[in-house]
Structure 1
Amino acid sequence: MLVVIANDLPPAVRGRMKLWFVEPRANVFVSGVKDSVADKVVEYLYSHCPPESGLMVFQRTTTSPGYKIWGIGNLYRDLTEISGLQLVIEKNMDK
C-alpha cells in the first residue's frame, strides 16, 4: 500500500497519479500497488515534483517496522528516525 499526501502537485503529476491511485481528498492519494511499482512511483515523484509540492509518502513494507516514510520539500510535519524507526514529529503549539 502507498499513501501520498501533498501540499500542491503539478497538474501533470496529479493527472498521472489519478491513473494508479484513488484520491479521497484533494492531494491525498491511496493505492495498493506492489512494492516494485511503489518504488517506481516514488522515483517518479522525486524526479517530477518541485520542493514546493510538500510531499509525504508512506509505504507499507514487509520488513520491520512495517512502513517507510519519504518527505519532499516543505512539510507541515518533520520526519525523524530513532533506533531505525521512522517517525513523524507532531509540533507542540502552546496556547
Structure 2
Amino acid sequence: MVVMILEKVSPSLRGELTRWLLELKTGVFVGNVSALVRDKLWHMICMKLKTGAGLMVFNAAREQGYEIRTHGPTSRTPEDFDGLILMKIPLKEKTKSKTTAKEFPAVEPLPPPESPATLEG
C-alpha cells in the first residue's frame, strides 16, 4: 500500500497520479501498486514539483512496517532514531500572549486560617 500527500502541486500532476492511485482528498492519494510503479511515480513527482512538497509512506520490511520519503519544503521531516522513524516538528517562535489581565483577573488570596482556639468553641 502507498500513501502520497502532495502540497501546492499542479492539477495536471494530480490528474496523472489518479491513473494509478485514488485521490481521497485534495493532494492525498492512496493505492496498491508494485515497488517499480511506486518508485517511478515518486520520481515523476520529484521531477514535476516546483514549489510544492511531497510525502510518501509505503510498506517496507522494517520494524515499523513502513518507510517515509519526502521531497521539497515540508512542515515536518522524518528522523531515524535507531531504526524508529519519528516526525520532527520544528518549534515555532514564541509570540506575545494575546491574553490580558482583564480576561483573566488575578485571584484574591485566601484569608488566613482561623486559630485552633476559635474552632473548639
User: How would you bin the TM-score normalised by the shorter chain?
Assistant: 0.7 to 0.9
The secondary structure found in structure 2 opposite 1:6 is strand
Residue of structure 2 in register with 1:14 after alignment: 14
Distance 2:24 2:11 in 1: 17
Cα deviations across residues 49-80 of structure 1 (Å, max 9, x unaligned)?
Answer: 12x2111111112x113211111111121221
Residue of structure 2 in register with 1:58 after alignment: 57
Select the structure of larger CA radius of gyration.
2
The number of aligned residues is 93
Structure 1 residue 48 corresponds to structure 2 residue 48 = yes
The secondary structure found in structure 2 opposite 1:71 is strand
Question: Please, what is the CA RMSD of the aligned residues?
Answer: 1.9
* Runs of 5+ unmatched residues, structure 2: 98-121
Cα deviations across residues 10-66 of structure 1 (Å, max 9, x unaligned)?
Answer: 22211101111111111100011122211111111112212x2111111112x1132
Shift of 1:91: 5.0
**Structure 1 vs Structure 2: percent identity of aligned residues?**
25
| AA in 1 matched with 2:23 | E
- Relative to total residues, which structure has the larger strand share, 1 or 2? 1
| AA in 1 matched with 2:72 | G
Shift of 1:92: 6.2
TM-score (norm 2): 0.67
